[in-house]
Structures are given as C-alpha cells and as structure tokens.
Structure 1
Amino acid sequence: MNKLKLVPALILLCFAAASCKKDSQAQAPHTVIQSPLTQRIADSTGLVAQVFSDTVFQVAEGIRETDVHYLSKTGYAMHMFILEIDVTNPKLKLEAATPYNVDAYAMQTVPDMARYLQAAEGRVLAGVNADFFNTTTGEPRGILIRNGKVLKTTWANARSATFMGVRKNGELFIGNREDFDAMKDDFEDALGGGPMLVENNAVLTQTDLSIEPRTGVGLSNDGKLYFMVVDGRSFYYSNGVTITDLGHMLKACGATKAINVDGGGSSTFMIKHPLAEVWQVRNRPSDGTNRAVGNAWMIVSKP
C-alpha cells in the first residue's frame, strides 16, 4: 500500500525536475558570439569560460569596435574593448596626441586631448591612453616624437622598454630601445610603452603577475592596428588581467607584435560615436572618472 502511494509522488518529482531543467535552460540560452575577434580569443587563449555577450559595430570606415562581457576561467566577471583599425585605409591616420596639442609636458584626459587635436589636425575618430607618465609633471616615462620633432629620447626605467611610432613614409612600427636609437630620425610620431607583449608572433611571458586594468596596442602583418582595454578593480563588473594574458588576447586578435602601455586608472578607450557628435569613453576607468594622462594615440580622418 505504501509503495503504491509512492509511485505518483515519484512521478510528480520527476516531472518537477524536468520542468526545472527546462526553465533553467530557458533562462540561460547559449550565447551566439557576434565578433570574429571574440571567437578567436575564446578559442585560442584558454582565458574565457563563458561569453555572456559581445557586440561589434562600425565606428567609421576602416574602424570596428568589439565589446565583450565574459566570465574568466578563474571565475571572475570581465569586460574587454577592442578597436580594430585598417591602417591600409588611406582615409585614416595614427597621430600622437599631447595635452593641449603643444610640445610641453602636462596632463589632460583623452577626450580633451581629442578636442585640441581635432581643432588642428582634422576629425578625431578614436583614441586610447598611451605612455606611462610622471603624475606630477606629466612627463612621459619613455620617448616622445611629435610632428617630426624629437622631444624626448630618454627612458625613465627598465619598464620603459618599447615604443610605437609612425614612420615618415606612413608605416607603423613597434620596437624596443635599440630600434629607437637606430631609427629615431625616421619617425613622424612616436610614443613610449612598457614591456613587449608579442614579438615575432610569439607571446612573451612576463614576471609581473599583478591583475589590473590594462591597455595594449598591437600590429598585424596584414595592416591591422589593435587598441585593447580590459577593465579592472571592480569585482562585479570587471577584475582585470595580467600583462601576459593581455599579450595572449592581442595575439589571438591577429597582432604579431604588441606592447603594454599605461593601465590602471589611466586605461581609456574612446571613440567618436557613430550616432552622435560626441567623444564617448566606452570603458569604465577604475578611478570612476576619466584620468588626466601624459599622452595618447588618436585615429584621425584625413581630409
């Protein structure tokens, strides 16, 4: 008699379990990845456990943005922003920006630098923060060349080891101190950076294991420039990465050479929004507001 009473109860439990399973599946559908860059990073780095969402859109001709919200393999919430720029596009130009668009050391936010640069050079379409800097004077830690004028050729410390530059023939170049010493008269613009992340299509392992907001820049062999910002210092939003992991993600995008630039509260990822005439900082700087920095890289449309 007791066994017979148990049968309907077991049936009900099984039905309820199946219903719960269906509800759970309905609440957590499989995410369809939109961006090829997101797919490459998820497939090849071993850093992504789950992509919650990603969006990809055209900022301007030759400039595409990818925004990714994902769960890291270590179980942390993450937000990453990638700008892929076709530097073979004759309408685009990479320029070094300084505060107030002058040849002097100072500090200014990336959007404010864009305003001054646009007044002199043309429409600014996107930008990221660049070199590490003295937080009192704004003096960059690495080298500085702007509009063909060599303004600084010294390096502050061992961490200031690399640079990215625009050669006078328009080609982009990433190199180290020795490269700069040999080529400094050949650059129209150049800004310093930190450790080399990717060289000869290989990720370099770093001794710095700290997890922070990060900014990196990279170049591919097929004419693509990558700006990447990974936000951090916010547990429920985004927790940051190591610089080695930043290198893995830039390589996955296609960069065969890449460097780390200033991060932490300086990390700034800005675009001229395609639907409004405003410069929009797309990431969430960890200071809670846009930090004034020493210099920046800007993408400018040629007349």
Structure 2
Amino acid sequence: MKRRYIKTIIGLSIALFTMGSLDSCKVRDDFPEFGEPVEEEPEEDIIPPDNQMTPMIQSIKDKTTYLKVFQMDTTQTISPGVEYLHARFINREDVPISIHIMELDISNPKLTMQALTPYNENMFAVQNLPEMVKFNQKTAEGKLLAAINGDAVTSGEPTGSFVKFGKVLKTSASKTRPYIGVKKGSDAIQFFNSPDATKYPTDAINLAEIKHLVGGSYFLLYKGDDVSTSSSGAARIAVGINEASTKLYLMAADGVIANFSAGVALNDLRDMMRAIGCYTAMQPTSGNLTAMTVLDILNPEQSWINKNFTTTPAGTTNGIGFVLK
C-alpha cells in the first residue's frame, strides 16, 4: 500500500512537471513583436533665405571665380575689433561650401598672438583645441579670444620650430617653412621666412629674439604673389595679414562632409584670402587637424567653442592663440 502511494505521488509530480514545461514553451500573448528596423530620415538642412551678402563675402564673389551661388552669411562680434563670419555658398563646381572667417584689428596694440601647448605644458602631446585654449588661458597675458590649430604633427610633435614665452621647444633649419609669431619686447604679429630663399631672400630667424613662434605647412601668398596651388578639396585653415599689417584674417573651410561642404583646394583658399585683404598668408595644416576656436560670448569666463566642422576632429600638437591684453 505504501509503495503504491509513493509511485502515485512520483507519477503525479512527473505529470505536473511535464505540463509545466510544455506550458512554458508556449508563445506569450504579451511578447513584443520585432519587425524590420525603421530608418530615421536625416534632418533636412534648411538654409534660411538671405539676399544680402556682407562686404567680405561680396569681395570673394567679385574678386574670384569660386563663389557661384550665394546662400547665406552671418556675423558676430566677439570683442571690439574682432569679428566672426560664417558663410555658405555653391562653388563653381556646383558643390556646397561652408567657410568661417575672422577679422582681427591688430592696429590695436593690445591685440596680439601667443603660442599654445597641450595642457599648457612644455611637452609634446596632442589636445583638442577648445580644451587647449582653456588650459592656456591660465597663464595667458590677457583674454584668449580665438585660436586656430598650429603646425602639422610628426610623431606627436610639431614639424617646425616652436617657441612659447621665449622658451624654444623645437628647432628646424628650414628657411622656406612659413611661421607666424612675435618678437621679444613687441606685440606686433609678424610672418617669418619666405617660400623661395633665392627669389625672396630674408634674414634667418634668430630664435633668441622670439617670444612666440608657430610654424605652418605652406605659404599661400607672399607679399602679394601666388605661392601654393592644389586642386584637391579638403578641410583647411589659413591665417594672413594685410599689406599695412593692421588686419589679420583667419579662414577655416569645413569638409569633407557630403551635402554640406566639399572642402577647399589650396589655390581657392589662396584666392579667397587675397580677396578679403591678405598680402601674405599661410596654411598651418589641413584635414582633420583643422580647427577654429572662438570665445563663447554667452559664457566668456570659461568656454571656447569650435566653429568649424571636419569628419573626425583630431587633437593638435600646438595652437595659434589671439589674446587681448
């Protein structure tokens, strides 16, 4: 009797377990259904209507063949004598272009240049430009209003000579590499070297006389003469000065971003720099190192923002900062 009872209990347990297992394999009525992923439509790039060009963009249209169809431009005053401009247009190849321009009135003796280093340290490293500006503000001789990327990077260090606050951090023997800087005892911004030592003989740079010095890749213009030519579009940056040495110009071209900005060739960058007033100009470097950082006027105590766009922004080994003492 006892053995029959135990068998009955075991049989009942097996039956209940089997029923539970079968029941657990059923498809739940409340189980969610997964269909094909829904592709989100990209945001439409709406350019507000703008029928009036600023004088600087009008000058590019009038003095070059590059700007075919004007789309828009906007301006912003960063500080008295420091203006920022963003423009979009269709170029002669019928592709979209986006550029950023800054004009600095360097006839103001309190507006000058200083070299920037990653983390405000005298070491070879890389850092995104807005963060670099923020670190270097701690020891700047005034308010850093804007900056662009500096020299090209070779194994984590600048390619050309580099001087910050009189300390020589890197030397190069090149007499044709372009440089921008200031000498000791002066705040006047100057360009150094020439693109051709025979055609344009210049004195060698005496680094002992230099307070700040940052190198570049190419001269675009030298004393009004054309220098660099290239037909390949890329994100690019340029800095130039007018003949009277009273205005300094910065230009950053966005790229290469489909349906937004195809990038700019060196010869077109050169022509636009001349059109806005440059007599001598250079390209520090190009591609993903391209960066133009401007003081955020809505948060001027602690924030600087990148104005330009590249596909994958990269850190730079040094920077060219512009400071108001």
1:151 lines up with 2:169 in the alignment: yes
Corresponding residue number in structure 1 for 2:220: 197
Superposed counterparts of 1:98-247, under 5 Å: 98-121=117-140, 122-134=142-154, 137-154=155-172, 161-168=177-184, 169-176=186-193, 179=202, 181-206=204-229, 208-222=230-244, 223-247=246-270
> Which structure has the larger Rg?
2
Paired residue type of 2:188: E
Query: Aligned AA for 2:179?
Result: F
Q: For 1:55 and 1:248, how far apart are their aligned partners in 2?
A: 21
Match of residue 20 from structure 1: none
Identical pairs, percent: 28
The aligned counterpart of 2:69 is 50
* Runs of 4+, deviation exceeding 4 Å: 177-180
Alignment of 1:4-15 (within 5 A): none
1:180 to 1:128, Cα distance in 2 relative to 1, 3 A: farther
Q: Give 1:285 shift.
A: 2.3
Q: Deviations over 1:256-303 (max 9, x none)?
A: 00011111111111111222332111111221xx4211111111221x
Measure the CA separation in 1 of the matches of 2:317 and 2:111: 23
Return the alpha-carbon distance in structure 2 between the equivalents of residues 43 and 102 of structure 1: 45
Whether the aligned pair in 1 keeps the contact of 2:50 and 2:72 (CA below 8 Å) is no
CA offsets 1:28-85 (integer angstroms, 9 cap, x no match): 977211x221111111011000110011221112100111101001101000000111
Question: Does residue 295 of structure 1 match 2:314?
Answer: no
Whether the 8 Å CA contact 1:76–1:235 is kept in 2: the answer is no
Whichever residue aligns with residue 170 of structure 1, its letter is D
**Other-structure match for 1:40:** 59
RMSD over aligned Cα atoms: 2.1
2:32 is aligned to: none
SS at match of 1:299: strand
More helix by share: 1
CA contact (8 A) 2:64 2:272 kept: yes
Partner of 2:90, secondary structure, is: strand
Gaps of 5+ in 1: 1-27
Taking a change above 3 Å as real, the CA distance of residues 285 and 150 of structure 1, as seen in their structure-2 partners, is same
Q: Secondary structure at the match of 1:265?
A: helix
259-268 vs 117-126, greater mean Cα deviation: 117-126
1:225, distance to aligned residue in structure 2 (A): 0.9
TM-score, with structure 2 as normaliser? 0.77
Relative to structure 1, the CA distance from residue 180 to residue 239 in structure 2 (aligned partners, 3 Å threshold; closer, same or farther) is farther
CA 234–180 in structure 1, closer or farther in 2 if over 3 Å, else same: farther
